[in-house]
Amino acid sequence: MATFIVSTMVLWTFVFHNISTYRDLDRQVAETNAQMMAKAYHEYLLRTIRQIDQAAQLLRNEYAKELGGLNSRSQELFSVLSPDLLFQVAVIGRDGRLAFSNLQRVTDGIDLSDREHFRVHREREGDFLFISKPLLGRVSQKWSIQFTRKIFNDRGEFDGVIVLSIDPYHLGRFSESVSLAGRDVIALLRQDRTLLSRVLGGSYDEQYLGKVVEPRPYMDPHAPDSGVFEVTSYIDGVQRIGGYQKLRPYDLLVVAMVDQEAAFARSRSAALLGYLIGVGGTVLLTLAALATRIAIRTVFREYVTVKAMNAELKAAHEELADAHRALKRREEELVVLAETDPLCRIPNRRRFIAVAESELVRHRRYGRDLSIVVLDIDHFKVVNDTHGHTAGDAVLIGVTRVIRKRLRETDTFARIGGEEFAIVLPETDGGGAFTVAESLRQAVAETLIDLDAGRSATVTISIGIACLDERHTSVSDILNRADKALYSAKGSGRNRTVHGEECGLRM
């Protein structure tokens, strides 16, 4: 009897232990999947929002110049951005009335002073991107989410709002790049719990757009920036395991949730198998003590099976980790490609502006010298027209090689458009920048550049220099002054270097 009792206790202890182990493994896999999806969706939204914000700031600058420029630049953005991302550009004047829309000509301005984004920009200080609740456009008659920035007049006062209307469906298109089970969910919410986008099982779910969901602990402003949770949805009553990521700069929250029932399917099968083993073993032990050896062998075989399944789960978990690392590497590669000129293999304008902003902050903090050089290839159009665009590309590459060899590792050399290049020279005053610029100009002029089919050519460059001073404290100011110096060099006959007055050199 004692042997029977001990054997039965051992059997059921083994069964319950394995059921618990399987459930813990399924939970770990579900939490890992939810966290990885939330992280990937977070990165997707971060890139998308930054792209929209850059477009908003560009259009705001165009509006400050002239309204006609805003209309033409809007058309350019529509041709560059994804067609289902941006469908309306509008301007609300300081009086709250519609001043511009790319969808129709504005004659009698519609009163939009009750819109949330207009009131927020009018009442709050500072320059920031605001993301509205989903709303139905009075002009477009389409559901949209408004990405807005404040417009300032010449005195720095509130002068209206630039509005980019985004289709909410686009914010959920990330689901097309991942595999969602039937009741898996990814969603985007504002900090006030307003639902901006929801995808259920790979299908966009618009019926809850703009609804305010019930509060959860992870929605608290003081909660960590990321984590996992278990919840029963108030929308459909489904129990899910979720992961979240906060986009604090934009007061947004990303949530990815996997169906708990589907996630625990393997552990339920293991539990059923375990119960069958337990019941069968108990029956065998009860029927005859002689069957003890057979029962032990059965248990052992099941143990081997469980061990093999555990190994499969571990391998699957490692595969997920490898996939996550590969995704991370791919994201890093995409960042490099996005910031590198594809022809010359040097930083592009986006990377140049980022480096220049960083260097400007550092040099202003420590009171150090900083210069920016802008150069342009003289008569480049003639090269293209005479020898063809392939030869023009060869000239761009050849000039890039000549200049790169003569710069320091701390200097940033970038192609910022067409045949125009720019250089950030840290720790360099006006005299030093002029010396560097002249050496580059002479080196380019003395270099015979190989084109193709045995042809070669020489080119010259014109250079403009601007330096950091107390009056001009932004990268755009310094670049504008360098451009003016460049135009002066062009107008003075080309193949020369001109510096701004702030560089402390005699003209």
- Asked if residue 206 lies in contact with residue 168, where contact means CB atoms within 8 angstroms, the answer is yes
Could you tell me if 449 and 457 are in contact, meaning their C-beta atoms sit under 8 angstroms apart?
yes
Single-letter amino acid, residue 313:
L
Q: Which element (helix H / strand E) includes 325?
A: helix 292-338
- Is 419 a known active-site residue? yes
Which residues, other chains included, contact 5 with Cβ-Cβ below 8 Å and sequence gap of 6+? none
Q: Looking at 62, 359, 419, 502, which residue is catalytic? A: 419
At 291 the three-state DSSP class reads helix
Q: 111: helix, coil or strand? A: strand
C-alpha distances out from residue 216 to 190, 193, 253, 277, Å: 13, 9, 12, 41
CA distances from 472 to 126, 207, 468 (A): 21, 51, 7
Element (H, E) at 231: strand 226-232
* Residue 63, both tokens: 């509006």
Q: How far is CA 490 from CA 134, 302, 326, 400, 461, in A?
A: 51, 84, 48, 20, 9
Residues identified as active-site? 419
